[in-house]
Structure formats: structure tokens, C-alpha cells
Structure 1
Amino acid sequence: MLRAAVGEQRRGVAVGALLGSGHQVGEALVPVLIGVVIDRAVAGTDAGALARWLVVLAVVYAALALSFRFGAWSGERAAVRADHDLRVALVRRVLEPGGGAEEGRLPGALANITTEDARRVGAVNMALMLGISALTGILVCSVALLRTSVPLGLVVLLGTPVLLWLGHLLSKPLESRSEAEQERAAHASAVAADLVSGLRVLKGIGGESAALDRYRATSRDSLRATLRATRAQAFQNGMVLALTGCLIAAVALLGGRLAAQGTISLGQLVAAVGLTLFLLGPLELLASVNAEMAQGRASANRVAEVLATPYAVRAGGATLPRPVRGAVRLRGLRHGGLDGVDLDVEPGELMGVVATDPAHAAALLRCLGRHTDPEEGDVELDGVPLRELDPGELRTAVLVAEHDADLFEGTVRGNVAGAADGTDGASGGPGAGGASGRPGVEIDAAMEAAGVTQDLGALPHGERTAVTERGRSLSGGQRQRVALARALAADRPVLVVHDPTTAVDAVTEARIATGIRHVRKGRTTVLVTTSPALLAVTDRVVLLDDGGRVADTAPHADLVRRHETYRAAVLA
């Protein structure tokens, strides 16, 4: 992961490292030039030489300042670009039609990985650029000290690798604690997002205190992990700084003894002391680079886990027939409690499905939308098994509208219109008409059928009323009707709707049932529900019993007369 993040930005890192190295070389040359000025101009009282060397010194200062500015710009740009590319890759993986990345992870955890962990991996580019620059500065300083005095140069050349090795060992605890810190922070974010999304329910059942206690405990765990990581970083920085101070003290002590013995001149002593003080900068920089690399490695592991998550379903090599007729067939379907379900849905049929166990309904929806493949048996669309299709292509023909579908920030009409033109991703595919090749349902007709039009008078700005994130500004019934209108406007050849009217009154529900039948005429529609108003307008109803099998298939009125189980599920 780190190699890929750096490799894609290698040009920016190389330019930044080159300019950064120029800055470090200039910084190392400053004390050397001051020593030359003392020996050749000040000691000899040569005003002309002094002026010339001061000009050289000014040029070096200007060069190192410009090198730092543009080198830092190039390195930071590479870091930000790598961060951005990684965020895009993570979002693309999460939104991949094959799914799987979200399994076992709350949305808050994925958001933390996509933001903070991606940023830390991207920052490795800047750290690498700074590390190369620091090493270049140390090398130039060592060469300058060797030319001044071989013992001084050897102390630096031999001491620096030891210092780097010790710094690497000291970064190991930081790496493990940084990974734990990010995991706890991601979990805290996930719990917070979970609690906010269910705030209304918590208030309704009086669970605020329990939720607060849960978040407080999670937040404290995150705080403890952060403090442990911070202590590890502080310990590493302190130890590296102390070791760096010992190396600098050794160089200064040796240089002072050599000057006292007359082995080096006054200017050389000043240069040696200046170079020794200069060493403090690149050595501290290497310590911070070690810390950045440790955090980057920990974050890279977390990012790699998401990107390497196996797909829930794989794309097959088959393609959809054009146009899609909408014939759906289930053969020997076994999954999540469903036990050998055999079912044929004719093209253009409006079918109801009543499951006495909600888990069976959920399993059926997952198989029809190909969010998972059945354990046994097959689901076919126009004779083509779904497992042989690309899930993205399949969803241009089959739309499974979940009961708890979320709305998007925007307006009421914008949420419905987005499904018709494919602009908000709500429909899972391209524009109106889908794969059927037929003209799409008009937005106004979809809103009328779903009961949204009748509800616009109660909204402050009608269809232009603002919708906040996930539709929280609307009531439960309003959200359901807008979500249903969006599904109808998508106009897929096959539409599967799960309990679309649980939050509306009986009169509105009956009107919506009629609207669905009118708008979906000639298109295959499956209503997975226990609503008698919706089931009454279907062509026939399939009853799934507690064993996950098809108990009976008949029109709604016939099933009401002859099945006690059906009456209990639908009329109770």
C-alpha cells in the first residue's frame, strides 16, 4: 500500500526531495562559509574578500529559502494527491456493486478509514521527501566535517546510522499503538453515527441514558488509546532528541579539543560548531519522519484490509437480453431460512409476496437484488442466472427498493428526479426506462402514484422543500412516499418493493396501491408486504410459511378465505 501511494506520486516526491536536499545543502554550507569568511576576511582584515564572501552567503541563503518553499510545496502536493486518490479508491470499493466492503463495519468506521487513515498514508510522501532531504544534509555535513577533521567526520558518519537504528526500534511501540488508536477512534465514530441515526427511536423508548453510557464508555476507550499513542510518540521523540544531543555534544567536545591543540583553525572551529548545531535540524526531522512512517504503516494496514475485502458477489460473463422482458424465475432457492423456493413471475405481472417470518423476506430481497448469491438453487432473469451477470448491469434492470431506503440531501423533487436521470445514484443505474428500452415514467406521474403530490400542500415549499441528510426533515410517512416515488420514477423492467406504506394511513395506502398498479402496468413488479390494501391490487400472492417454503399461490381474496396463516399475517 505504501509503495503504491509513493509510486503514483514519485515525480512529486522526487522533485520535492531534490529541492529539499538543495535546502539542506544550503543550510550545511552556511556555517562552512562563515568559517571561510572568518579565516580569509576577518582574520586578515580584507574588506574586499569580506564583501565577496558576504555576497556568496546571501546567494546561498536565497537559494536555500526558495528550495525549501518549492520543495515543501511539491512534497505536500504529492501527499494531498495520494490522500485524494486513496479516498477515491476506498469510496469506489465501498460503492462497488459487488459489495462486501461494508460487511462487519459500521459507516462511521469506514468514514474514519477513508479520511484519517487515508491522510496518514498520503503523508508518507511528505515524510519520505523530508527524510531524503535530512539524510542529504547529514551526508553533506559529514563530508564538510571530514574535510575539516577526519575524527569529526567519522563521529558523525558512524553515529548517524546508530541513531537511525535506535529511532526505528523506538518507533515500533508507536506503530502498534497508533493502529489501536485509529481502531478505537473509528469505533467511536461508528457508535456516534449509529446513535445519531437512531435518535428518534431512542427518545421514543426512553433509551437516551443507556445510549449515552454506551458512547461515554466507547469515547473513553478511544481517549485511552489516543493517550497511549501520544505517550509512545512523546517517548520516542524525547529519546531520539536525547540521543541526538549526545551525538552533537560529542562532536562539539572533540572539535573544541582539536582547536585547543591547534589542529584546526578558528574559522574551522566555528564551522565545526555551526555544522554540529545544524545537525540538530535534520536529526530531529528524521525522528519525526520515523513517527510519520510508523503511523503511515499502521493506517496502510487498515486501508489495505478494506480494499482487499472479498466481494460479496462476483461478476459473471453473461449479459442481459435486450430488451429485458422481466420474467423472474426461482428454482430450488435455499438461503437464510428459505428452503427450496420455486417461483415464476411472468413478464408484466404484479405479484405480492407474504412471508410469515421477516427474515425470509429479507433473504428473498437480498437474492433478488443480488446482494448475495443463494446457498443452493438459482434466480433467473429472462432465463439468465443472476450469478452469471455483473451486479451493476443487473441493477439497471432490477431495482430492489428496501423498506428503510435513505433519501439524499436536496429537495423533494430532486430526490425523485435523481432516480429518473441517474444523477444521484439512488436508482443504481442509468436513466429512465432502464434496460427495458421503453419510455420512462414521468416524475409527476411517479409522485402522484406514490402519494407525494397529495402531501405537497403540507410541506413549506411544496416539491422544492429542502430535504436534509437521510430525509430526517420529513416525517416517516413522507420519507416512505418520496422513496417509493423515486423507485417508480427509476422505471426498471423489474421492481421489487418491500413494505412501502407502513407509515401511512389506510386511505392513502389504498390510493398508493392503485397508483402503483397504474404506473407499473406492463412491467414486472413484486410487492413484499403484509398490507391488505397493496395485496388486493396484485394479480396473485405467494405465501411463504414458517419453514421458508411456498405454502400457496392464489389471488389475495382466495388466500384470505382458505388460509388461517395468511389471515393472521395480513389481517391481524
Structure 2
Amino acid sequence: MPRSRSGSRAVLTGSVGAFRRHVSAAALFLCGHQAGEALVPVLVGVIIDEAITTGDPAALAFWLLVLGLDFAMLSFSYRWGARQAWLGDVRADQRLRLMVTARMLDPRGGAEVGRLPGALAAIATSDTKRVGMVNFALPLGIASTAALVVATVSLLRISVPLGLLVLLGTPLLLVLVRLLGRPLERRSGPEQERAAHASGVAADLVSGVRVLKGIGAEPAAVRRYTATSRDALTATLRATSAQAWYEGAVLAANGLFLALIALVGGRLATAGEISIGGLVAAVGLAQFLVEPLQIFGWVNGKFAQARASATRIAEVLAAAPAVRDGSRALPAHVPGALAVRDLHHGSLNGVEFDVSPGELLGVVASDPAAAVDLLACLGREVDAKGDVELDGVPLADYPPDTARATVLVAVHDAQLFAGTVAENVRAGGPADRDVAPAMAAAQADQVADALPTGTDTLVTEQGRSLSGGQRQRLALARALAVDAPVLVLHDPTTAVDPVTEARIASGLREVRRGRTTVVLTTSPALLAVTDRVVVLDDGVVTGAGTHTELLARDDYRAVVLA
């Protein structure tokens, strides 16, 4: 908890400090506006005492001119103060969004651990907005303080008892407002957390809706989201109830305080201790004080919400990296020799094998979890015990993004993006790259030919407008088009028919000739074109040889020909 509090404090102070010029300018202009507002009832009282009561036209004209200048000043100050506060708000929001997004996209990873994509999206949007709002609320709070100072000084000049009442009563009222805001702060965090979790679950279910329908799991999905949504609704209602109670209590406290000021002022006027103009000014100041006191309550509520959101942002920004950062520069020529040495991670228990430069290696894992764990190690998603070496150099010595670009891992469930077919295939390289060989090897050219406008056909988000086989072939074409020194594929043909799979296997071997390729699969068609196959069982390598040689083993046939 102390770390989270210090982290949230750093987020808040950093957000204000980064745009202190906007915040300072806004505070200065808004102080002028509030001071001008506070002077309005004072000037009205002066006009009554100095001009109307005495019947002096010259004095009336002079003080009306002063009142007009005051209105001009406060109007100008508010316009420019609000503009500067708004700029500080939106730019702080943008800065935090960029910081959170940069942390999410950090090649070292770690920010996504324990958080659904929807939850991260909520932090990068809703929470950053709440923290950015501090840059708007803080100048208003400072301006309200200036208003109270001007009002108090004016009341002291009119009547010492009235001035002392405001001077002593306002701090007590502010302490009360701060205490009333604590329940709102406690409930604001869980509200945002559960709402973000509900968004994450919803996004997760929508992305897998076809699978859910295929296995008849819609009722279970509905029950899961319903329960999550109810939790979020309960937290929101609790936070909203706290907000309503807080605002009502603040309004009641302000009203009682102002009623006390008006009562004292009335009794002083009745006793003849203040003039008619002074009474009008005092009542006007009492009414004016409603606004700054309400602003104090609003500002305190925004700070309470911002502190809760800042804690969530700080947790993302301070998330421990999943992998360490390397600093070694990649050589100009990468032969592509891959070596796995005593690798331990998840279900892997000391895996060792070598891949020669330009070799097409098949990896057969009896346990699908072992394949996933191996992919995580080859793709630098985790720091595992043991080493993965590229041309004799540990892969961990390179920066994660360099390692991943050199040893490219194309996962089984690779996603497509909203855009054209051509844009999806060229996503991993220059826009003018010739992707025809990759398209042909992955049989993705047939997919393009079957679409209305070929490679210019628009693909919806996550490729939902395409069939599973079409998405898989386009994803494979994208991986092949990058032409990485080492390419690792995971079951790239599970959604295509046997004839297409055989053509892809032949095309894969041809297009990757001279480049190191590792295919984690149990497909006989793909394994038949490999140079060599490594067998993983119980977390260790239990055999190696050609596909034909290994077919003589019962355990191999049971996995590959099942």
C-alpha cells in the first residue's frame, strides 16, 4: 500500500508538473475572475452608499464605470483561465495515455500480467481522463481560495464579526468536506476496477464468440458476463450512492454556513452597526460564497477519484518487466543457427536441441502445453532457466524487439487487423514489399482471388469477415513475407483442408529455402517436408530424426497419425 500511494502521488504530481505553465496561467486568470466576482456585491454596496443614498450623479457614473470594468476583467479572465485549464487537462490526459500505451507496448512486456485487454483499455482511457481532470480542478480550487480571501477581507472591512465568522468557519467547513469525500475515494477505486474487468470480459467473449457458439457454450458465457456485470453494477451503484450522499451533504453544510452568515449580517444591520450598502454587500458576498464553496466540494470529489485512478495507472507503469533488456547489437549477417540449451519453463524440463542454418526443423510435442512453453521462450516472452542461442549468442543478450524480429514467432492464433488484405500481409515490413511469393506459398493468393476486390478487399477487425482457413493462410503469408532469419511457426495449417495443407507444406519449404525455420506441429504433411524432426515428451527431447524414420516409433505415430 505505501508503494501504491507513493506511485499514485508521483502520477498526480507528474501530471500537474508537466503542464505547470498551463495550470499556473489558469490559476492566475481564474483567480482574477473569482476576485472580480467577489467584488461585484462590494461595488454594488459602495454604489448604494456613495451614490444612490447621497443622490450624487457623478459618483454614480464613476462607480458604474468601475463596476463595468470589473465585469470586463472577470469575463476576460474566465475565458482565458478556462482555456488554459482545459489545455492542461486534455494534454495531461494525452500524456498519461501515451505513457500507459508505451508501457503496454514495451518490448519487455509485463504490464499485461493479470489484466484483461479491456481492463488495460479502461486504464488508458477512463483513468487517465480522471487524473488529467486534476489540471482543470486545481486552478479552480486555487481560484476559489482567492475568492474566499477577497470575500473575507471585504467582510472584515464591512464588519469584523462577519469577517471573523467567514475566516474561522471556512477552514472547518473545508475539513468537513475532506472527511465527507473519503467514502467516495474508497469506492471509486473498486468501481473503476470492476468496470474495467467487465469490459475485459466482454471483449474476451466477443473475440471468441464463434468458438463459443461452435461448442455450445453461450449459456456459460452469458452467466459469466452477467455475474461480472452485476459486480460492476454493484460497485458503480455504491460509488454513485457515495457521490450523491457526498454532494448532498456538502450542499447542506454550505447552506447552513451561509444561512449563519446572513443571520449575523441581518442582526448587525438591525443594530445599526453596518450601513444599508454594507448589508447589501454582506448578503451578496454570502450568496457569492455558495459558488467557491461548491467548487471546493467538486474539486475534492475530483481529487478523490483521481487518486484512485492514479493508483491503477501507477501499478501499470511500475509493472515488473517480463524479460530483461539486452544491449548487444545484431551483426550484419545472421546465419540463423539456433541452439536450445537446458531449457526449463512450465512443462519444459531441460530441453536441448540444435537447428542448423537454413534447416527446416519440425518439433512434435505430445503435450500441447510444451509447445506453448517453447514458443514463449523462443519468442522472448519469458526469462526461462537455460538458454536459447542465436549463432552462439544468447538471445537474451539482444534487446527483446531485436530478438523477436530476428527469431520471428508466428503463433497459432495470430490476429488480423482492420484494413485490406494487402495491408495485413505487408504489416510486418515496407508497404512496397513484394509479397507475391509469400502469398503463393501460404495459398493466400487463392483467398484473395475469391474475395470481391482481391487484395484490396477490406478485412474487418480480427478478420471476422473471413473464414478460419482464410485467416490462417493470410496470417501465414504475413509471417513469410517478413523473411526473418529464423521463423518459428505453430500449427499454421489446422484450419485448412488436406489438399491445401500439402500445397502449403511444399510452398513453405520452397519460400524458406536457405532460411532457418522451426515448425511446431503434428501435421504429417508439414513434417514430411522437414529436414529433421525433434520429439518432445514429458518436457524433454526423447528423439530426433527424419519424419520417415520416426514413423517406426509407436509413440510418434500415436501423436502424428492420431
TM-score, length-normalised on structure 2?
A: 0.97
| Aligned positions of 1:66-465 closer than 5 A | 66-374=76-384, 376-421=385-430, 442-465=434-457
1: CA distance between counterparts of 2:293 and 2:160? 21
1: CA distance between counterparts of 2:427 and 2:374? 27
* 1:552 corresponds to: 543
Q: In the alignment, which of 486, 496, 503 is matched to residue 494 of structure 1? A: 486
Q: Is the 8 A contact 2:364 2:534 kept in 1?
A: yes
1: CA distance between counterparts of 2:35 and 2:102? 43
2: CA distance between counterparts of 1:19 and 1:288? 19
Q: In the alignment, which of 510, 531, 541 is matched to residue 523 of structure 2? A: 531
Q: Is the 8 A contact 2:42 2:285 kept in 1?
A: yes
Which residue identity is paired with 1:417? R
Q: Deviations over 1:515-544 (max 9, x none)?
A: 111111111100111111111111101011
* 1:436 corresponds to: none
Q: CA RMSD in A?
A: 1.2
Q: Deviations over 1:403-437 (max 9, x none)?
A: 0011111011110112122x7xxxxxxxx9xxxxx
Q: Is the 8 A contact 2:25 2:84 kept in 1?
A: yes
2: CA distance between counterparts of 1:65 and 1:234? 31
| Aligned positions of 1:507-518 closer than 5 A | 507-518=499-510
SS in 2 for 1:370: coil
SS in 2 for 1:525: strand
SS in 2 for 1:96: coil
2: CA distance between counterparts of 1:32 and 1:273? 10
Does residue 569 (structure 1) correspond to residue 522 (structure 2)? The answer is: no
Which residue identity is paired with 2:452? P
CA shift for structure 1 position 320: 2.3
* 2:4 corresponds to: none
* 1:427 corresponds to: none
Q: Which moved more, 1:470-479 or 1:383-392?
A: 383-392
Q: Deviations over 1:30-87 (max 9, x none)?
A: 0000001001110011122212211211111121112112211111111111111111
2: CA distance between counterparts of 1:41 and 1:452? 89
SS in 1 for 2:289: helix
Q: Which moved more, 1:270-279 or 1:379-388?
A: 379-388
CA shift for structure 1 position 142: 0.5
Q: Is the 8 A contact 1:321 1:382 kept in 2?
A: no
| Aligned positions of 1:41-56 closer than 5 A | 41-56=51-66
CA shift for structure 1 position 275: 0.5
Q: Is the 8 A contact 2:325 2:399 kept in 1?
A: yes
Q: Is the 8 A contact 1:320 1:384 kept in 2?
A: no
2: CA distance between counterparts of 1:461 and 1:243? 67
Q: Deviations over 1:318-368 (max 9, x none)?
A: 232221111111111111111211111111111110000001101110000
1: CA distance between counterparts of 2:279 and 2:252? 24
* 2:496 corresponds to: 504
TM-score, length-normalised on structure 1?
A: 0.95
* 2:47 corresponds to: 37
SS in 2 for 1:331: strand
Matched residues, percent identical?
61
Does residue 480 (structure 1) correspond to residue 472 (structure 2)? The answer is: yes
2: CA distance between counterparts of 1:454 and 1:60? 75
Q: Which moved more, 1:233-242 or 1:397-406?
A: 233-242
2: CA distance between counterparts of 1:213 and 1:354? 37
1: CA distance between counterparts of 2:134 and 2:345? 45
Which residue identity is paired with 1:530? T
2: CA distance between counterparts of 1:319 and 1:331? 22
Q: Deviations over 1:197-252 (max 9, x none)?
A: 11111111222222222212221211111111111111111111111112211211
* 2:6 corresponds to: none
SS in 2 for 1:396: helix
Q: Is the 8 A contact 2:42 2:154 kept in 1?
A: yes
Q: Is the 8 A contact 1:26 1:61 kept in 2?
A: yes
2: CA distance between counterparts of 1:71 and 1:133? 10
SS in 2 for 1:395: helix
SS in 1 for 2:559: helix
Which residue identity is paired with 1:525? T
2: CA distance between counterparts of 1:187 and 1:10? 34
* 1:429 corresponds to: none
* 2:70 corresponds to: 60
2: CA distance between counterparts of 1:270 and 1:551? 95
Which residue identity is paired with 2:556? Y
1: CA distance between counterparts of 2:286 and 2:429? 69
CA shift for structure 1 position 316: 2.2
Q: Which runs of 5+ in 2 are unaligned?
A: 1-10
- The 4+ residue runs of structure 1 with deviation greater than 3 A are none
Q: In the alignment, which of 445, 458, 462 is matched to residue 470 of structure 1? A: 462
SS in 1 for 2:455: helix
2: CA distance between counterparts of 1:323 and 1:10? 49
2: CA distance between counterparts of 1:393 and 1:457? 35
SS in 1 for 2:137: helix
SS in 1 for 2:133: helix
Which residue identity is paired with 2:544? T
Which residue identity is paired with 1:401? A
Does residue 20 (structure 1) correspond to residue 12 (structure 2)? The answer is: no
Q: Which moved more, 1:362-371 or 1:385-394?
A: 385-394
2: CA distance between counterparts of 1:502 and 1:294? 51
Which residue identity is paired with 2:92? A
Which residue identity is paired with 1:571? L
Q: Which runs of 5+ in 1 are unaligned?
A: 424-431, 433-440
Which residue identity is paired with 2:394? P
Q: Which moved more, 1:321-330 or 1:139-148?
A: 321-330
Q: Is the 8 A contact 2:47 2:63 kept in 1?
A: yes
Which residue identity is paired with 2:534? V
CA shift for structure 1 position 317: 3.1
1: CA distance between counterparts of 2:233 and 2:182? 20
2: CA distance between counterparts of 1:27 and 1:109? 43
